[in-house]
């Protein structure tokens, strides 16, 4: 007998309608649970309860082959419910946040801040150095800070790694921004008139191939790309230029003399959102930690083998020298996972046993573009 596709789809539509009704009822009950937890000061997450709920629902199935799919569906349902509870319980849902970023208005960090906190109320503060941001967060003067930590063309921004360890701050989120560097100048400026160019060292690194064709242009490191644009706009001198983004050009009324001068067209910077204390949100799937191992043969290999044997994906590793100890290093590691996962807990215990130093910098949601 030939199947009737339209008839099957109508039945699916009926099932979806019933599913929506049932899920809405479940979410109403979840909000009642949130109100109870708020009155009792209880945490949102209850890993043991969540596991029992998933197993119970899977047990209701008549067809066992659907069990993996049902586990995945229920995990998503519970994570979404936890997000609703977090929003209900969080004071930040109704208050104005204080958020600081590196660089002035119009910088790429400013753009990352706006994109990450697009649905929050906040007051924005701009700082001239990475350390100013981290220090203000560690003192509780800011709720959050936004800092660049890695560029797809030039690698990790080592100063930020060192500051996070020194000031004992936590990573609670991340945002990626596509970076398009441009040579900017005032009215009348051109490739022929510009003799000196200002930018942050990262801006020059990302545009190094462009400047090989213009050796007469002296590269002068400055506080930030946007601050460089501000300086050029203030001086109105056709002999100076800046490497900065399009937003900075618009903000300070500068012309784009040469567009997209970064040598890698697929040029992205990853920014981290930092806070004074750790935060674990539903759906957290990325972990950053700092480790150090004994200065002896095989110690690093043995530690890294733990990640391989647990099957977790290591996304990045950066080394930074230990102050006062020649040829000894801290290692900053990004890996997939959630600290509530028993497998991840076992991994972290194993890593701690193999290290002389181990600190969890944060467990947060990996960046995913908004649809």
Question: Where in the sequence numbering do the catalytic residues fall?
Answer: 269, 271
Looking up tokens 């990045």, which residue turns up? 316
Distance CA 319, CA 334 (A): 12
Q: Please name the residues in contact with 18: beta carbons below 8 A apart, sequence gap of 6 or more.
A: none
Question: What is the separation of C-alpha 180 from the centre of its chain, rounded to a whole number of angstroms?
Answer: 19
Distance CA 55, CA 78 (A): 13
- Output the six-digit token pair for 220: 């002068």
Distance CA 362, CA 355 (A): 18
Least Cα distance to 84 among 282, 309, 240 occurs for 282
288, 362 Cβ separation under 8 angstroms? yes
Distance CA 282, CA 291 (A): 25
Maximum Cα–Cα distance across the chain: 81
Least Cα distance to 100 among 90, 87, 109 occurs for 109
Distance CA 216, CA 213 (A): 9
Distance CA 107, CA 101 (A): 9
Edge-to-edge strands, sheet with 329-336: 314-321, 329-336, 286-292, 357-364
Distance CA 106, CA 246 (A): 9
């Amino acid at each position: 007998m030939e199947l009737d596709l339209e008839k099957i789809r109508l039945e699916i539509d009926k099932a979806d309608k019933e599913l929506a009704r049932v899920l809405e009822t479940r979410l109403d009950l979840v909000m009642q649970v949130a109100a109870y937890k708020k009155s009792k000061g209880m945490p949102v997450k209850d890993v043991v309860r969540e596991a029992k709920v998933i197993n119970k629902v899977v047990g209701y199935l008549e067809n066992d082959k659907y069990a993996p799919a049902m586990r995945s569906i229920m995990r998503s349902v519970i994570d979404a419910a936890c997000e609703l509870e977090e929003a209900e319980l969080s004071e930040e849902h109704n208050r104005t946040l204080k958020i600081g970023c590196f660089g002035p208005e119009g910088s790429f960090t400013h753009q990352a801040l706006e994109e990450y906190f697009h649905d929050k109320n906040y007051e924005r503060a701009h700082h001239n150095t990475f350390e100013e941001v981290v220090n203000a967060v560690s003192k509780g003067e800011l709720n959050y800070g936004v800092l660049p930590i890695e560029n797809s063309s030039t690698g990790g921004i080592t100063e930020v790694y060192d500051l996070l360890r020194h000031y004992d701050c936590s990573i609670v989120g991340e945002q990626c921004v596509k970076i398009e560097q441009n040579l900017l100048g005032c009215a009348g400026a051109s490739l022929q008139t510009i003799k000196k160019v200002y930018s942050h060292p990262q801006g020059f690194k990302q545009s190094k191939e462009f400047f090989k064709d213009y050796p007469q242009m002296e590269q002068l490191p400055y506080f930030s790309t946007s601050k460089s644009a501000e300086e050029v706009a203030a001086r109105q001198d056709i002999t100076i230029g800046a490497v900065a983004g399009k937003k900075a050009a618009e903000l300070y009324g500068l012309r784009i003399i040469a567009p997209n001068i970064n040598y890698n067209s697929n040029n992205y910077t990853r920014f981290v959102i930092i806070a004074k204390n750790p935060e674990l949100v539903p759906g957290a799937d990325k972990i950053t930690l700092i480790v150090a191992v004994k200065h002896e043969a095989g110690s690093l290999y043995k530690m890294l083998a733990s990640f391989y044997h647990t099957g977790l994906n290591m996304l990045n590793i950066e080394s930074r020298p230990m102050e006062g100890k020649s040829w000894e290093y801290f290692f900053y590691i990004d890996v997939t996972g959630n600290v509530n996962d028993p497998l991840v807990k076992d991994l972290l215990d194993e890593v701690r046993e193999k290290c002389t130093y181990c600190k969890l910098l944060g467990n947060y949601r990996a960046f995913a573009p908004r649809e």
